[in-house]
Structure 1
Amino acid sequence: MPSAIEDAKPFNAKRAALAATIGNMLEFYDFITYSFFAIQIGRTFFPSQSEYGSLMLSLATFGAGFVTRPIGGIVLGIYSDRIGRRPAMLLSFALMGAAILTISLTPSYSTIGLAAPIIVIVARTAQGFALGGEVGPTTAYLIEIAPPEHRGLVVAWQPASQEIAATAGALVGVILSKTMAPEMLESYGWRVAFLIGAICLPFGLWMRRTLPETIPQSKEGAAAHERTNHLSLAGRHIGVIALALMILASGTISTYVTQYMTTYAQNTLHVTPTLAFTVSLVGNGLQIAGALFGGWLADRLGRKPIMVWPQLAVLVLTYPTFLWIVHAPGALSLLVGFGVLSIIGSLPFTAFYATFTEALPQNIRGGVFATVYAVAIASFGGTAQLVVTWLLHVTGNPLAPAWYLLLAAVVGLVAMSLMPETAPVKKRQGQA
């Protein structure tokens, strides 16, 4: 099946991958930064008589961004399959930019009253719609521009770009917490963090406008994509889709509980904001390396070994790590403990991204990946931080996050062990 990039000369795959993932990185920076400043945002827009009530309302608004992600995944994912990857990625990026500007510039509850939280909730749902339609088209685009022997590494830039965004958000948090008094951080410091991401929006739009298209541009190719019956084709891959949903549920719980560690370190372990942000900075930085290394390994050793063995290691190490952190909270335990879990835990999901995308036909790839991803994220990512906060509150046990992470790790391990092997290197070995 011909594609636009076959006719676009010269084509620079590295530049196209960079352009796609830069946009993805900027979108995730805006989305994830909210979780880093959940305490300050809660006090700004959701004043309450209790600190717990304010934080829960703030996290509920963070979760509202997940409600519309399945809708965005379906709408923009199918749009990317029928019209093109580039238009879908441009649209999601523009929506995200408008939402982040709205949140960062909305006056506080004390200034405009009930209108403030309403505006923020609407903006968060718009962000969720945009991000729901971002991951599927971007991942499909990366797999389509990559040489078969390097698909794992190229697709690795999808999760790596998310971790780059989280690392940038944590770095901004460290700098702001070090240079601002607590009342300044609460008053406008978090707005500065959001606006830093907004400054990059024009650059991201420009980069995405230069991307070559990978969907067939001939009349015959376009007609074939227009006639695609997503439900019928997806039904033939129901087993892989079900396993992917389980793996993504496991991964998103791990991701958003990890992002919650900034709040957990401050509220539960009572460490300084600077150390809390530093833990997130180090953990997310290590996950960048882990994601790329996992992609490199998956191209050479196959997808399944890189999914199963690191996931098993995470299952074994999670509870002892939390025991250490809770009984000796400090820089050493937090940085080493979460650092080890971060780098090992990031290995399996790069291999999974490549496996799931390779297992889907091109003409449903964007829509199915986006929908499954968004449903898993909405169901489990949007509730992860609420569940952990609730568990900590009702049990009073600082080990509560470990229980939730262990459950997620078991589900992910079972599903990963059942996924098919799609790596070209393994297929060549089988044919030999």
Structure 2
Amino acid sequence: MNAPTFASAPANPSMQTSRAARTRLVLAAAVGNALEFYDFIVYAFFALTIGKLFFPVDDPVGQLLLAVASFGVGFFTRPIGGLLIGMYADRAGRKKAMLLTLGLMALGTAMIAVAPTYAQAGIAAPIILVIARLIQGFSAGGEVGASTTLLLEQAPANRRGFYASWQFSSQGLSALAGALTGVALTATLTTAQLESWGWRVPFFIGTAIVPVGWWLRRTMEEAPPQNVAAAPKAPKIPLVTVLREHGRAVLNGLGLTIGGTSAHFIIVFYLSIYGVKTLGLPSWTSMLSGCVSGAILFIVAPIGGYLSDRIGRNKLAQTTRILLMLAIWPAFALLNKSPNATTLLAVVTVLSIVHSLNVGPTGAMLGELFPRSVRATGAAIVYSIGVAIFGGFAQFFVTSLIVITKSVMAPAWYVIGCGVLSVIAVACMRERSQEMLD
């Protein structure tokens, strides 16, 4: 039987409103994710300064490792946040959950902005920093599940991929903004000014964005299902239902997330570090590389979402994943053969375009795996676990592989291995782009 088309399908009530209202919906859903990745970039940019100010270790390398570790602890609370906030979104509504995640993210960012240094507060300083990162990780874990499902459910039936793609597009814009903020501060302030107060500026900027995001989310409308009477209510414990009745969907979602996350962290973040640390390129190439990949993700991810609505999500996801797997090894080989800034930027550009097309349909695919009653819980669990393990520990895995194999091509093999899991997962998923969501 052929899948139904949307030629005469009625639009959701919320989509019968003005273009301004639809734009507000997208902005409201994307703002929390944008704040998360903005903080991600600026924290990484000032890791050396933070390590020096918050960790009383004489060895500079030890300070950096502790700073990176304090950043990484946020990944441990992502699955917990995904679970608890996801269940809250299914039972209380997406809008309430999104307000909660934005408030928690704001709290964590503000704590970092005003945190006393070790010289001012002693051991309390790194403790405050770690608590702030734990709060941010908890918030980020629940953010994607709640906001992506809202975009998916409120979108016109034939534009779900495009609407959900803005969740990931916002990551690119915030990465670009974070990199540019770091470059601007480094270029205009002295080392003493950066260590005294300059490193706090990006976090104050992030906190200042929150009132706008709060207003957008507070005033947006969350339209109910078209048939309220027939809409299933969320179970008392959505997690039990997800694991008991949708185990296959969880495995498929994890496979999909693993492939995208591993590629994202290698292309967007690790390649620039690889160029500087392994290939000996100048440090300015690192920030420029981050700006290029962020800008491409912002522009191209919605194109991927749009195409998935037209040609099918599975076809686009499989094609671009295989292309990325075929390109990643030659890309690293070319970098090692011609280690210069031009090669690095060319490689980042090509890989980022393919990767951005691939993640375009991901948000819709994750949400379409689960029914409305447990959608936020299911999407949040698979995304937060996949990102926490295969994203948060990506650099650890890759560095370990380089040490074990003695090969600088290890990052490529990591992306290829994770990509195989993603290809298998998508092959097991039903194409939903031309079906009604619920």
Question: So what's the TM-score if we normalise by structure 2?
Answer: 0.87
- Measured in 1, the distance between the counterparts of 2:285 and 2:190 equals 15
Aligned to 1:133: 142
**Distance in 2, Cα, partners of 1:321 & 1:142:** 35
Cα separation, partners in 2 of 1:140 and 1:102, compared to 1, 3 Å: same
Cα pair 1:30 1:194 within 8 Å, conserved: yes
Q: Deviations over 1:136-165 (max 9, x none)?
A: 010100011101111111111011111211
1:323-367: CA deviation from partner (whole Å, max 9, x where unpaired)? 222343332111111111111012222223212212311111111
Q: Are the structure 2 counterparts of residues 76 and 215 from structure 1 closer, same or farther at C-alpha, using a change threshold of 3 Å?
A: farther
Distance in 2 (alpha carbons) for counterparts of 1:105 and 1:262: 30
Greater CA drift, 237-246 or 89-98: 237-246
2:48 to 6, 27, 39: 39
1:259–1:189 distance in 2 versus 1, CA, 3 Å: farther
- Give 1:62's aligned residue: 71
Residue 21 in structure 1 maps to residue 35 in structure 2: no
* Pair 51,246 (structure 1): closer, same or farther in 2 beyond 3 Å: farther
Shift of residue 51, structure 1, vs aligned partner? 4.2
Q: How many Å apart are 1:181 and its aligned residue?
A: 4.2
Q: Counterparts of 1:350-429 in structure 2 under 5 Å? A: 350-391=360-401, 398-424=408-434
Partners of 2:91 and 2:274 lie apart in 1 by 43
Aligned residue type for 1:163:
G
For 2:4, the equivalent position in structure 1 comes to none
Counterpart of 1:326 (choices 312, 315, 336) is 336
Of 167-176 and 282-291, more deviation after overlay is shown by 167-176
Post-superposition shift, 1:238? 1.7
Aligned to 1:113: 122
1:163 corresponds to 2:169: no
Tell me the number of residue pairs that the alignment of Structure 1 and Structure 2 aligns.
Answer: 422
CA distance in 1, matches of 2:363, 2:430: 13
Deviation at 1:63, TM superposition (A): 1.6
Please state whether the residue corresponding to 1:225 is helix, strand or coil.
coil
- Runs of 4+ aligned residues of structure 1 deviating over 4 Å after TM superposition are 7-11, 181-188, 215-223, 226-230, 389-398
What does the per-residue CA deviation read over 1:104-153, in whole Å, with 9 as the maximum and x for residues that have no partner?
Answer: 22232343332221111111000011111110010100011101111111
Aligned residue for 2:391, secondary structure, equals helix
1:9, CA displacement in angstroms? Answer: 8.1
Structure 2: runs of 5+ lacking an equivalent:
1-11
Alignment RMSD (CA, Å): 2.8
CA contact (8 A) 1:152 1:351 kept: yes
Match of 2:221 in 1: 212
Counterparts of 1:31-430 in structure 2 under 5 Å? 31-181=40-190, 184-185=193-194, 188-215=197-224, 224-225=233-234, 229-232=238-241, 234-257=243-266, 258-391=268-401, 398-424=408-434
- After TM superposition, give the deviation of residue 186 of structure 1 in Å: 5.2
Q: Is the partner of 2:360 in helix, strand or coil?
A: helix
My pick for the range that moved more, 113-122 or 327-336, is 327-336
Amino acid in structure 2 at the alignment position of 1:369: A
Change (3 A) 1:305 1:222: closer
1:237 is displaced (CA, Å) by 2.5
Larger displacement relative to structure 2 (415-424 or 41-50): 41-50
Question: Structure 1: which 5+ residue stretches go unaligned?
Answer: none
Q: Normalization by structure 1: what TM-score? A: 0.88
CA distance in 2, matches of 1:359, 1:255: 22
CA distance in 2, matches of 1:271, 1:43: 24
